[in-house]
Structure 1
Amino acid sequence: MLKVALYLVAVGAICIVAVWLAAHPGSVVIQWEGVRIDTSLLVMGLGVAALAIVLAVLFRLWSWLRSRPHRMAERRKEQRRRHGYRALTHGLVAAAAGDTREAKNAAKAAEGLLGEPPLTMLLAAQAAQLEGDDVEAERQFRLMLENPETEFLGLRGLMVQAEKRGDHARARELAERAFKLRPSTPWVQRHLLGEQAASGDWAGAMKTVDAAVKTGTLTHEQGRRDRAIFLYQQALEAEEAGDRRHALSLAKDAHDREPNFIPATVLAARLMSEDGKTRQAARLVDLSWTNGPHPRLAAVYGDLDGADSMKRLKRLEHLATLAPDSAEGHVAAGEAAIAAEMWGKAREHLEMARTLAPTIRVYRLLSRLEEAESGDSEAARRWLLMASSAAPDPVWLCDRCGAASAVWHVHCGNCGAFDSMTWRSPPATPLALAHPEEAEEPNSAETVVEAADGPPTIEHQPAKA
């Protein structure tokens, strides 16, 4: 609309000038080098206008001829770019589909058409990975490190390659470099945290957790638990190095951050007890016990008074009252009563435990009670037969692969997962005896029932993740 208006204004202005010149005639004389030209003012104006138009046309023609080579080059470049990105897209689709040959051919075509933009190098690296050519894949990822725009992507690819060949030292070095470039990126934080935990760099892992919590990669609850785990691991190292005071401080800090973290509570209570701080240790265990009874807590609690069996029984009976709906306290008290030869109390607690949770360990202890109290082998054998079909006792089970352990570990011994062990009952697997009379033989009984002074260690083939 604006162009039309401007055009009309220009035409109107020309018409006005033409009319004005026609109404005011005049003459123009041009004399140059002996040549004289006489004309009117109107003709002179029209001649000047015509000359201006011719010059403008000639200038546009000259400009077009001058820029034609550049335009042709730009057009060819644009065609190459369009074909290159088409090949790149085709290659990425082929790589995603697992078509190694097509992805490799497309990568070569894209590289020839586009040069070496980030996506071209990435496609070439992916094609090499699909083909199993780790050397070429690493070469492409290393080329990415030379360009600030692709350095971060190259670091990630090299980390994957390092992990693939089991070079955790190199993977950690690359993760630290990536963390410096982009400390708030979630996968960098998780990757670096995993490498630090795998290498035992607990202090460095604490800093990474702090960054992960700040950026929201980890929740505050998960960050608190991870810090407790790292403090506990440092406490173990300090104790092994002979620095018991520092070990106690770290273990206590871990317990304060995560009171439900049983290993830290057990370590802190044991170190306190060994330093003569029995009351503090007892308060520590009392708090954790009310949150979740555990046999390791009962064991360290019973040992607070040394080898006095009656004091041990009294302590464990008190512990049982703190969580009356849990069988664990009654199991611990019943076992202590057997050791103190308090048969009535032992039977009372074990029967209560059998009512709450009739597990293998409860029946084993009842069998042991029959043997210790009256030497009734037949009654003991009946309890063992009941144990063969009872529910298994809780153990530390890996949430990722299902491997079982009697002791908590920061990494699963089977799959290496970090903090994957939870205290729970494994799937029931009845331990049936082929012949009932086998229970009378010591070796057979040991096959069904192991030592009754601790939770069973279940050895089984871990489930595949």
Structure 2
Amino acid sequence: MRRALKFIVILVVLLALAWWIGSLPGTVTAHSGSYTVETSVPAAVLLLFLAGLIVVVVLRLLGAVRRAPHGFGAWRGGRRQRLGQIATERGIVALAAGDAAGARAEAGRAAKLLGDTPLVLVLRAEAARLAGLPAEAQAAFKQLTTQPGMAFLGHRGLLRQSVAVGDHEVAQIHAEAAEAAYPGSAWLKNKRRELALARQDYPAALALTREPRHVAALATAAARSAADPRAALGFARQAVKADPALAPAVVALAESLRAADKPRAATKALLEGWKTAPHRMLAAAYFAGFGTPIERAQAAGALAAQNPGHVESELALAQTALEAKLTGEARRHAEAARALGGDQGRAAAVLAALDGAPPPAIAPAGWTCEECYSSFPGWAASCPNCHKIGTLKPGAPGTNLA
């Protein structure tokens, strides 16, 4: 309704204007040499309007002709942009599908249409990496490091390539550059920790984690490898605080305390560790502080009192009693250990020694990974199979079950 009313108003105004012009009196005369043109005022106004309209149309046409090359270029550029975006999208899909040849073809097409834009460089690099062309991928990643805001992706790609060929020194350089380009990346922190582990730089790896399981394992390894006794003691204390049940950490603490001429503190640490989680490693470290068999047999009572009734406590009492020739005590505790189970044949070995029988096979202490279930005879900060940190727990040694 409002539109119809507006149209009627405009129509009325135009009709009124036309009527007013048509009613103008007088004539208009124009002379040009011997020619004379005479017309009424309304006709002259109409001719003047038509002349102005023609001028406007001509000027518009001239402007369109002048802008035609630029407009064609813009149209062509827009078309290249659209085709380049399509090629980039197809390349990304090919990467996700594992189609190396298709990804490289689309990356080349995108580069021709768009040039070496950051996204095209990423596509080229990843396509080359997927196709097994490290030199081509490296060139694209290097070029990417010069792009503002994209340096992290370039150094990330170069870092992965360096790790793949085992060049940890170059990998460390790119890790530091990537950290500077994008501080605080969780992925980069994990990768830097892996590099530190590969270099056996346990303090550096320790500085990159706060997870208690990781801290305990890495601090234990750092204490074992530290040349400075004070540093070793600090790492060992950090490890035990993170995981009081980790036997290697408790042993590292005891050894560090003994190196610092603190034997009583070392003994106390081992007793606390035994109270938390008995392990034959703790028993071996504990009895190393006593010189004679009878001293070890007497000390075994204090150790077993921290966790009475545990199979490891009974075994410690039985083995030290056997060594001190306390046969009655040795038999009593060996039978108690065998009844409890989980002695890996050690109780039977004590009884066999008492009876003069051939010793049975004893399963050595082993460590099993909680992640991949691989087993190993010795403890390490990270699983030698799956490389996860702090996953080795006491268990029977065996082979890789993954």
TM-score range, shorter chain: 0.7 to 0.9
> What is residue 235 of structure 1 aligned with on the other side?
223
CA offsets, 1:355-376, max 9 Å, x none?
Answer: 22244233xx4334432x343x
Matched, 1:353 2:324: no
Contact 1:95 1:103 in 2 (8 A): yes
2:380 maps to amino acid? H
Contact 1:361 1:393 in 2 (8 A): no
> What is residue 295 of structure 1 aligned with on the other side?
280
Displacement of 1:28 after TM fit? Answer: 7.3
Task: Could you tell me which runs of 5 or more consecutive residues in structure 1 were left unpaired when the two chains were aligned.
Answer: 210-219, 427-457
- The one of 231, 235, 249 equivalent to 1:264 is 249
Instruction: Give the distance between the partners of 2:79 and 2:216, measured in 1 at CA.
Output: 59
Q: Residues 41-52 of structure 1: matches in 2 within 5 Å?
A: 42-43=42-43, 45-52=45-52
Contact 1:400 1:417 in 2 (8 A): no
Displacement of 1:173 after TM fit? Answer: 1.2
1:198 maps to amino acid? A
> What is residue 394 of structure 2 aligned with on the other side?
424
Which deviates further from its counterpart, 320-329 or 156-165?
320-329
Distance 1:17 1:411, change over 3 A: same
- The one of 399, 402, 407 equivalent to 2:378 is 407
For the residue of structure 1 that corresponds to 2:345, the secondary structure is: helix
For the residue of structure 2 that corresponds to 1:286, the secondary structure is: helix
- What is the aligned-residue RMSD (CA, Å)? 3.4
> What is residue 309 of structure 1 aligned with on the other side?
293
> What is residue 430 of structure 1 aligned with on the other side?
none
Distance 1:10 1:316, change over 3 A: farther
Contact 1:394 1:423 in 2 (8 A): no
Instruction: Give the distance between the partners of 2:306 and 2:63, measured in 1 at CA.
Output: 96
- The one of 366, 376, 387 equivalent to 2:348 is 366
Q: Residues 427-442 of structure 1: matches in 2 within 5 Å?
A: none
Which deviates further from its counterpart, 42-51 or 27-36?
27-36
Fraction of identical pairs, as percent? 28
> What is residue 103 of structure 2 aligned with on the other side?
103
Displacement of 1:233 after TM fit? Answer: 3.5
For the residue of structure 1 that corresponds to 2:288, the secondary structure is: helix
Distance 1:199 1:43, change over 3 A: same
Contact 2:367 2:394 in 1 (8 A): yes
Instruction: Give the distance between the partners of 2:84 and 2:155, measured in 1 at CA.
Output: 25
Displacement of 1:108 after TM fit? Answer: 2.3
Matched, 1:88 2:85: no
Instruction: Give the distance between the partners of 1:407 and 1:6, measured in 2 at CA.
Output: 94
> What is residue 462 of structure 1 aligned with on the other side?
400
Distance 1:28 1:162, change over 3 A: farther
CA offsets, 1:177-212, max 9 Å, x none?
Answer: 111111222211111121123223344434433xxx
Displacement of 1:275 after TM fit? Answer: 4.4
> What is residue 124 of structure 1 aligned with on the other side?
124
For the residue of structure 2 that corresponds to 1:423, the secondary structure is: strand
1:161 maps to amino acid? Q
- TM-score by length of structure 1 reads 0.74
Distance 1:346 1:71, change over 3 A: same
For the residue of structure 2 that corresponds to 1:415, the secondary structure is: coil
Instruction: Give the distance between the partners of 2:38 and 2:182, measured in 1 at CA.
Output: 81
Question: Number of aligned pairs?
Answer: 400
CA offsets, 1:363-420, max 9 Å, x none?
Answer: xx4334432x343x2xx46xx2xx58xxx565112345554333322244x4371425
Contact 1:399 1:420 in 2 (8 A): no
2:366 maps to amino acid? V
Distance 1:177 1:54, change over 3 A: same
Matched, 1:154 2:124: no
Q: Residues 172-183 of structure 1: matches in 2 within 5 Å?
A: 172-183=172-183
Distance 1:247 1:394, change over 3 A: closer
Distance 1:264 1:89, change over 3 A: same
Distance 1:30 1:154, change over 3 A: farther
For the residue of structure 2 that corresponds to 1:419, the secondary structure is: coil
- TM-score by length of structure 2 reads 0.84
Task: Could you tell me which runs of 5 or more consecutive residues in structure 2 were left unpaired when the two chains were aligned.
Answer: none
Displacement of 1:174 after TM fit? Answer: 0.8
Contact 2:220 2:381 in 1 (8 A): no
Instruction: Give the distance between the partners of 2:22 and 2:46, measured in 1 at CA.
Output: 12
> What is residue 336 of structure 1 aligned with on the other side?
320
Contact 2:376 2:399 in 1 (8 A): no
> What is residue 307 of structure 2 aligned with on the other side?
323
2:222 maps to amino acid? Q
Displacement of 1:73 after TM fit? Answer: 1.8
1:313 maps to amino acid? A
2:265 maps to amino acid? Q
For the residue of structure 1 that corresponds to 2:234, the secondary structure is: helix
Instruction: Give the distance between the partners of 1:4 and 1:74, measured in 2 at CA.
Output: 41
> What is residue 191 of structure 2 aligned with on the other side?
191
Contact 1:183 1:189 in 2 (8 A): no
CA offsets, 1:40-83, max 9 Å, x none?
Answer: 3x555544443443333333323322222222222222222333
Distance 1:308 1:19, change over 3 A: farther
Displacement of 1:33 after TM fit? Answer: 7.5
Matched, 1:163 2:198: no
